[in-house]
Amino acid sequence: MNQQIDSLRIIIADDEAVIRMGLKIMLQTLNHKVIATARNGQEAIEKVKLFTPDLLLLDIKMPGMDGLAAAQVLAEEASLPIVMLTAFSETAMIQQAVNASVMGYLVKPIEEHKLGPTINLAVTRFQEMQSTAAEVQQLKVRLAGRELIDRAKYLLMQQGMSENEAYHYLQGSARRRQISLAEMARRVLNQLG
């Protein structure tokens, strides 16, 4: 994975100003743009909603709402890759981060030579996950359409058509009306069912 990700719009969420500043400098060196910073999880959520970044760097331990809680909220409300920052390498925390759909993590102190590859990996993983989710959705739609067609064919067969005749009837009717086969099946089900 040597592909360099283009310049990203990034939000940094960490309760320590020195770390936010250090990360900002490293990210600028890597050709990324820091569009906002946050001091806790709640601020991070608000800034993500306001600025819609390409990536969020999110510290795990922060006062108020911590990074794990913020990541869980964002997993449901926003679609973006998150890289967790932690001073701890505790297995339980890392597992919680994985469960919150986090795409990567870095242990503090953050080293610039690790930051770039981690961001690239997180963005690539996120894009792959989004692509897979879209494919799954398309398959669900196609399966639902197939089920409609099969049910409509069954109703037409009960009216005296063969399976082949029922399919050709649906296909021809859909073509004439310039609608999908699934939509034609839905209409037949509404009419006969």
Q: Count CB atoms within 10 A of the CB of residue 140.
A: 10
**Phi, psi (5° rounding) for residue 11?**
-110, 135
Q: Which residues sit opposite 38 in a β-bridge?
A: 13
Residue 31 has a pLDDT of 95
Instruction: Specify the DSSP class assigned to residue 180.
Output: -
C-alpha–C-alpha distance, residues 75 and 89, integer Å: 22
Options 3.30.1510.10, 2.60.120.620, 1.10.10.10, 3.30.56.10; which CATH number does 135-192 get? Answer: 1.10.10.10
Q: What is the pLDDT of residue 95?
A: 65
pLDDT attached to residue 87: 79
Q: What is the pTM of this model?
A: 0.72
CA distance 69 to 97: 9
Q: Where are the domains of the chain?
A: 9-110, 135-192
Q: Does 106 or 42 have the greater pLDDT score? A: 42
Q: Determine whether 179 is exposed, middle or buried from the number of CB atoms within 10 Å of its CB (0-12, 13-18, 19+).
A: middle
CATH topology of domain 9-110: Rossmann fold (3.40.50)
